[in-house]
Amino acid sequence: MAQFVKLQVPEAVKEKQLQVLDKVRKTGKIKIGVNEVTKAVERNSAKLVVMAEDVSPPELLMHIPVLCKEKGIPFTYVNTKKELGEKAGIKVGTSAIALTDEGEAKKELVDLVKKLSELSK
């Protein structure tokens, strides 16, 4: 497990969050990449931050969980950058994404955030 991974996400929750990402990609707005995610978190426009666990070097993402906790923004992890990039709608992998507008996935996102908050306790 990488140093920046602050919580273990069960596979069932990872599947749920990938479904939510897929729905948000079609109807909402996503910021892709570490720089865009950092800006979204600093501006409090992010509803959820998703990071890949296989990022190398880990220093690229070490600041994001700290920022998210400081701003009260929920965050979670997926297994690979490739998987995250595909769900974000791009052909390459990405280290992190931020959901800024949930679109039609509002109810699903609320349920997911509730599960993630229970895991982080």
Is position 1 within any domain? no
Compute how many other C-beta atoms are within 10 angstroms of the C-beta atom of residue 67. 16
With respect to residue 2, please indicate whether it lies within any of the assigned structural domains: no
Identify the CATH number of the domain in which residue 44 sits. 3.30.1330.30
Per the domain annotation, does 92 fall within a domain? yes
Q: Residue 4 — very low, low, confident or very high, per pLDDT cuts 50/70/90? A: low
Is 78 within a domain? Answer: yes
- Average pLDDT estimate for 64-79: 91
Give tens-digit pLDDT for 20-30: 888 888 888 99
Mean pLDDT of the 60-82 span: 91
Establish if 61 belongs to a structural domain. Answer: yes
Residue-range definition of the domain harbouring residue 34: 11-119
Among 119, 80, 79, 100, residue whose Cα is nearest residue 32: 100
Instruction: Concatenate the DSSP letters of all residues of the chain into one string.
Output: --TT--SPPPHHHHHHHHHHHHHHHHHSEEEESHHHHHHHHHTT--SEEEEETT-SSGGGTTHHHHHHHHHT--EEEES-HHHHHHHHT-SS--SEEEEEE-GGGHHHHHHHHHHHHHHT-
Which of the two residues, 35 and 13, has the higher pLDDT score?
Answer: 35
User: Could you give the number of structural domains in the chain?
Assistant: 1
Tell me, yes or no, whether 4 lies in a domain: no
Q: Is residue 2's pLDDT more than 60?
A: no
